[in-house]
Amino acid sequence: MRLYQNKGLLSPPERRGRVGYYDAAHRDRLRLIAHLQERGFSLAAIKESLDYWNEGRSLAHLLGINDIAPHLGRKPLRLSADEFAQRYCDADLTQTDIQRAAALGLIELDGTEVVVFNAAFLDIGRDVARLEIPLSEILDEYEYVQAAIGDVAERFRDVFERHFWAPFVERGLPPSAIRSLSSAVRQLTDLASQVVTEELHQRFSAFAEHYLARASAHSSEGSGD
């Protein structure tokens, strides 16, 4: 325990007098550290990874992919119709769902193949479907989120144009400033992602506490009968 605390991997226990108490968050953190160590991660690598995760940063940012290899993009995932359907084996996948996913830009239909441009969305959809939420409803929510994120992105784009692009144009678009302009784009992207992630976490935590409190109160009432 003390080693993990010294390495910044684990927060100190709550002190009550001379006794330190560890809670569920400490136990979860210890399980995660053990899991990552089993996969070959050093304590330094685990700390760096968790720090980036806590800050809402991406794996690409952690690995420096965008800086070191900006042209290294993910290859689209090509699946047969049967392979694509198997990803949702527990869900009622209809042709209408597939066509709508294509219309939303999540996939592309290329003859008998389904082309997935971002496998992360495919995995997220599968995991949500495992919660027994109908795919049609998942696509409804994705369409709404897509529009909402589009609005957020446009606002940050306006910020970028006012504070970075406009001064760049006024200076005559000097080639020497392109590197700093590119850096500003990346930093603003990371900040926007962190803002959205943090706000979502706070909103979800708030409503989770609300419903769990109601469930706990109901359970207490039932046990008192």
pLDDT of 24-43, one tens digit each? 888 888 888 888 888 777 88
β 14-16/107-110 pair status: unpaired
pLDDT of 189-216, one tens digit each? 888 888 898 899 899 899 888 888 888 8
Q: Measured between alpha carbons, how far is 65 from 100 in angstroms, rounded to an integer?
A: 32
Mean of the per-residue pLDDT values of the chain? 83
Q: Is 116 helix (H, G, I), strand (E, B) or coil?
A: strand
- Predicted confidence band of residue 185 (pLDDT cuts 50, 70, 90): confident
Residue matched to tokens 């495992």: 130
Whole-number CA gyration radius for the chain: 23
User: What percent of the chain shows pLDDT beyond 90?
Assistant: 20
- pLDDT at residue number 150: 92
pLDDT of 155-165, one tens digit each? 999 999 999 99
- pLDDT at residue number 16: 80
Question: In this structure, are residues 99 and 107 in contact, taking their beta carbons and an 8 Å threshold?
Answer: no
Whole-model pTM?
0.62
| Statement: residue 100 has pLDDT above 80 | yes
Query: If you write DSSP's letter for every residue of 4-37 in order, what string do you get?
Result: HHHTTSSPPPEEETTEEE--HHHHHHHHHHHHHH
